[in-house]
Amino acid sequence: MDGRAIKAGGKAVQLKGVCWNPVGKGHDHPPRGDYAAFADKDIALMKAAGINVVRTYDTIRDTAVLDKLHAAGIRVIMSVYAYGGDPASRASEHVTALKDHPSILMWSLGNEWNYNGLYTNMSFNDSMARLNQIAAAIKALDSKHPIATVYGELPSKATIEAMPDIDVWGLNMYRGITFGDAFTRWKDLSPKPMFVAEYGADAFNAKIPGYDPESQGKATHELTQEILAHSTANKGGVCSGGTIFEWSDEWWKSGNPSQHDNGGTAPGGGPYPDSTFNEEWWGLVDVDRNTRPAYEALKSLYAP
């Protein structure tokens, strides 16, 4: 770590990332075998778009998949603890197994746990205590990789200070087509590195209602440009980049996992243009890996 910058190999890294949870048709979360099934096609498309990091929601223990990511120059923000029903020791097991793999950029704990109580409706204070316990255990095992936690919107200064072993804060933010005052507020909240862990828009517009990949593409371009404008690579910048939600559609989220459903709910604000979360339509690529305008929008900003 170096101030607000996230470093790897001695160099500051701007995260040009996606959230990768490749659940295939008819399958359910977590993806497990789907990582291997989709790796070749997904990684090739990611590399072509200039993507340099993926953020996971499950732990990839398949080192063949990690080898392919590394070969493509893609690092991993690896989730090692998201579900409060797992023993705290589970995270340490994952870290011990993976800490020497060159694809690992950092470890990630929780996913907007302030909303979901580690998916077990645990209280806020109990969730924080669990993550503090896990972060301290990881620090004892691995001094090489930073530890991130992913929070819904902006944490309070008191929350940040109560979690001293968290090196990096990932923020899930859905505020339409701008992040508003988020970067200005973070500057006053903490000197620690921050990245936008989820952002973007889905490709189904409830106002039509119907498929609207053009609006998704516009939101992707505008929001990613805003992240780049506030990059730590710029003087006074506070944002180390972003991992857009998400790489591919997930059909398991709102109904029959073998069909593409509308609907679903999520906490927080709402995406452009309808402030409505259609949970199965967020992919830059669809479930068959056909690219959308959002993919091209990201590529236009990231590809070398």
Q: What does 119-182 look like in DSSP terms, one character per residue?
A: III--HHHHHHHHHHHHHHHHHH-SSS-EEEEEESPPPHHHHHT-TT--EEEEE--EET--TTH
Q: What residue spans define the domains of the chain?
A: 7-302
CA distance 69 to 104: 10
Phi, psi of 203 (to 5 degrees): -100, 10
Pair 65, 103: CB distance under 8 Å = no
Which CATH architecture fits 7-302? Alpha-Beta Barrel (3.20)
For residue 270, give the nearest of 153, 175, 172 by alpha carbon: 175
Q: pLDDT 10s per residue in the chain (304 long)?
A: 458 999 888 888 999 999 999 999 999 999 989 999 999 999 999 999 999 999 999 999 999 999 999 999 999 999 999 999 999 999 999 999 999 999 999 999 999 999 999 999 999 999 999 999 999 999 999 999 999 999 999 999 999 999 999 999 999 999 999 999 999 999 999 999 999 999 999 999 999 999 999 999 999 999 999 999 999 988 889 999 999 999 999 999 998 999 999 987 777 779 999 999 999 999 999 999 999 999 999 999 999 7
What residues have CB less than 8 Å from 98, skipping those under 6 apart? Answer: 59, 61, 66, 78, 104
